[in-house]
Structure 1
């Protein structure tokens, strides 16, 4: 944003501090909502009378809507002003949070989660931009570290808060708790941030590009979400959706590369450092999010964990990430960021390999240790990847590059959620059939019959046992695939040229 060098003088130190805390809180709320629903899916599915597979639409609809809105953030800020966009987005986020909590059907909650994602998309980059405007250059490093902490803490607290609320209150309250936070942020922004509003200008919007973006992403996500219930390409609808997504994607690329004012600036991909960096980020986030989606559901459906306990196991990753985040930040100036990124991705791969050996006999700490181990590596790929990607493009392309980076990260989360649940479900069916074909159940039936079990109870017991084992076998396979992707990501980053070491100006980031 132009003029960020002197806007910090418009606020007193006390107002600046209060504004900084409010902006960090707003970012925390939006990031929290990415994971708060994950552990609550079994509760929501049971309450609405839908399957857990259908319940995952609640996760993916939010992520996809956010991904669609992120590329628009820069245009919205220049057209209407950063503060105004931030406040309107916060109002919309609060309204759709209320409607999510009041939802009584799958259709309604998915539509409201889409609204939440569309409004939440601009909040994260806008809070970052406003922090850069209200703090002087010598304080920006410290305040951005606090902002980054909320980005790490949100996914950690999401499963715990969501689990506790689902177990002790009602799943509706995982959305209602956003209302007082949103109201506080709106009132504080109105009182504190008006002096640092940015200048506006009328800009043309690429409506055709936006329509194509929504079209191909929508077709792709619907295909991924309903494919596992419709035998994939054995169903004509899935084939049609796949063709529509593919054609829409190709037309979108051609249009954006030839449009004078593209909604998504694809020209940034000509920089090798940016391209290898964002694809590394997408692979890492996709593989990392696999555990955030699968582990809480497995613990609740198969291992008898409450939503709160499942959330604690999942959250250990981000808790330990908070410890190493300051270390990673200090190392950026003195260590080649490619070494940090590659090492962090390989470390995550080892954690996935560790989890690929879980069994149904694993206790709480056996399940938690890989999560703790994984957390230490998170900052070593998250923090330097931003430096690598944004230092690889021209200064005038920083906003576009940051928007594309956020877009691919969010899309990776949405797509991996659908793919992981598909692979997990298909793997369960394959493992169950293989076990059923080789199982010698006669002796077990005889022993259980002698213990007083009826024939029906015996069959149900054996069936439950097979289901439990097939679930963990399939999950181990998912983690093995995640390990392979993470090792590929660790190698992919070396396609980037060595960074120049220049300080990246993130004040233009949207």
Structure 2
């Protein structure tokens, strides 16, 4: 066999360089008029994405829904126990409502850093850390001995657990494609609602047989289960993150805290007759102004305003904001109303709220199917209209209201809530780029939490103000010369007797409080009717 010369070897090497492909992958050039090359390029770009089998996607969904449902349940578990906590902590209704509103505000403040933390440490690590701190804070709430420390540890509990809902929703959106995302979001909402529905009744039962403190102690072992399920959640690699806008975050947080304190303490402090309210209002306005100017100029704001250029997303956030403010009000006001005006037991008031949640789960079973068959915009409008029907029934409440009179409107509104939220959420993400989804989920949860706290604060303020005005008007008609006291239906009233005057005062206070509750329900009804057509402005994605 002949040995090739050096000249032949150089020729062979040059031929190999020309004829043999280079080992490094070179992306082919794509021309707009070449559809074949474009299709191959898109296939190669999607090849790196790992597509999970259907059974594993649903298993992951179940694993991430449990911690989110536990956190949401912890937000509402104190609702039914508020009357017992009010007596134990010697607080008024405007003071005890801080247990709800402060935790919701803390949840809103804890949401914005979620996207930055997920990019820096990975979604699964952030959720695990949130679960651990949530469990510790829950136990501290049970150990608190006064209203101030209860509110403080509730703030810690809500702040540390805030990333659980936003990240679980972001993972759900990434796991499922457009054609199955509506069904997946309905299943996610259904799982979260289990905690929302069962927590108040479970809390009322535990408070009735033990104490409200045991409610928060029991959250710790359930949190350990949540840590175990999160091990199945997909993790994301650490990414090169942009600097977090701590200045914008701090100024927005300060503005929210100031405004919520004004709403909660304004009625008790006689609003702007109080120096405290004036200082808080000025501080909140200044912080909000600085936040807006800073966010507009900084290159890395913690809220990426580009997401609001998507019309569907901006409209969806508005609908979600209004929805959250409306739907939490009956859950917070119904238990105190039944305890104070009807004298029902704590456990009974908790059971009254269960049908509302079960009806919402029932609605979610159908909305996941209907949303693929009908225009989601009209499904959303139908939900608002049905919710208005339930609200109109609540405006007919009086001191003789019975158990069924309260349950039926809540069932109607529970079914409507599924039609109000899921179509709006599906359309909200329909045209949004994948790179914005975590930020979009964070802003959505921020809007939801913020609106919930504002809705409760405004409702409690309106309740207290209406009760005060109604009591003054009713008391002005209580005098011996009033012809109404001469009718047999009025009974014998002795204005010279202290016991008779005390009974009249108690009756006037009850009637005034009932009028105040009805005024709140009228307000929610009017807002519902006005906002019903908003979903018609969504832009549908063209079908292939």
Q: Would you say same fold, with TM above 0.5?
A: yes
Over alpha carbons, which structure has the higher Rg? 2
Give the secondary structure class of the aligned counterpart of 2:374.
coil
CA contact (8 A) 2:271 2:277 kept: yes
Structure with the larger RCO, 1 or 2 (CA within 8 Å, 6+ apart):
1
In the other structure, the counterpart of 2:237 is: 199
TM-score, scaled relative to structure 1: 0.89
Equivalent residue runs for 1:350-429 within 5 Å = 350-429=389-468
Given the superposition, is the C-alpha separation of residues 271 and 132 from structure 1 closer, same or farther in structure 2, using an over 3 Å criterion? closer
Q: Could you say which residue in structure 2 is the equivalent of 1:151?
A: 192
Tell me the residue number matched to 1:433. Answer: 472
Alignment correspondent of 2:507: 465
Matching of residue 209 in structure 1 with residue 242 in structure 2: no
What is the distance in 2 between the residues matched to 1:402 and 1:113? Answer: 23
Report the Cα offset of residue 208 of structure 1. Answer: 0.9
Task: Report the counterpart of residue 262 of structure 2 in structure 1.
Answer: 223
Conservation of the 8 A alpha-carbon contact between 2:66 and 2:192: no
Q: Match for residue 348 of structure 2?
A: 309
Task: Tell me the equivalent position of 1:508.
Answer: none
| Distance in structure 2 (CA, Å) of the matches to 1:17 and 1:314 | 29
Deviation at residue 169 of structure 1 after TM alignment: 1.2
Distance 1:497 1:139 in 2: 20
SS at match of 1:218: helix
Cα gap change, 1:409 to 1:310, in 2 (>3 Å):
same
Alignment partner of 1:300 out of 323, 333, 339 = 339
Structure 1 residue runs of 5 or longer lacking an equivalent are 504-510
1:60 lines up with 2:101 in the alignment: yes
Asked whether the 8 Å contact 2:167–2:441 carries over to 1, the reply is: no
Partner of 2:295: 256
Change over 3 Å in CA distance of 1:17–1:271 after alignment to 2 = closer
Indicate the SS of the match to 2:401. coil
* 1:226 shift after superposition: 1.2
By how many angstroms is 1:470 displaced?
0.8
- Displacement of 1:286 after TM fit? 0.9
2:534 aligned with 1:482, yes or no?
no
User: Is the 8 Å Cα contact of residues 24 and 146 (structure 1) preserved in structure 2?
Assistant: no
CA displacement at 1:238 relative to structure 2: 1.2
Partner Cα distance (1:150, 1:278) in 2: 22
Tell me if 1:320 matches 2:364: no
Q: Taking structure 1 as reference, are residues 426 and 132 closer, same or farther at Cα in structure 2, changes over 3 Å only?
A: closer
Question: What is the rounded CA distance, in whole Å, between the counterparts of 1:473 and 1:352 in structure 2?
Answer: 15
1:456 corresponds to: 498
Question: Which residue, out of 226, 230, 255, partners 1:189?
Answer: 230
Deviation of the 1:217 alpha carbon: 0.9
More divergent stretch after superposition (215-224 vs 235-244): 235-244
d(CA) in 1 for partners of 2:372, 2:421: 15
SS in 1 for 2:212: coil
SS of alignment partner, residue 78 of structure 2 = coil
CA RMSD of aligned residues (A): 2.8
**Preserved CA contact (<8 Å) 1:323 1:376:** yes
Once the two structures are superposed, residues 438-483 of structure 1 have per-residue CA deviations (whole angstroms, 9 ceiling, x without a partner) of 1356659995579xx9923222221111111111111111111101
Q: 1:397 to 1:198 in 2, by over 3 A?
A: closer
> Secondary structure in 2 aligned to 1:128?
helix
Q: Which residue of 2 aligns with 1:164?
A: 205
Question: Which shifted more, 119-128 or 263-272?
Answer: 263-272
Q: Which moved more, 1:282-291 or 1:363-372?
A: 282-291
Structure 2 match to 1:506: none
Matched, 1:47 2:88: yes
2:124 matched to which residue of 1? 83
Residue of structure 1 equivalent to 2:310:
271
Unaligned runs of 5+ in 2: 1-45
Q: CA deviation at 1:149?
A: 0.8
Q: TM-score, normalised by structure 2?
A: 0.84
> Which stretch shows the higher mean deviation, 71-80 or 385-394?
385-394
2:137 maps to which of 88, 91, 96: 96
How many Å apart are 1:498 and its aligned residue? 2.4
Q: Report what 2:535 is aligned to.
A: 493
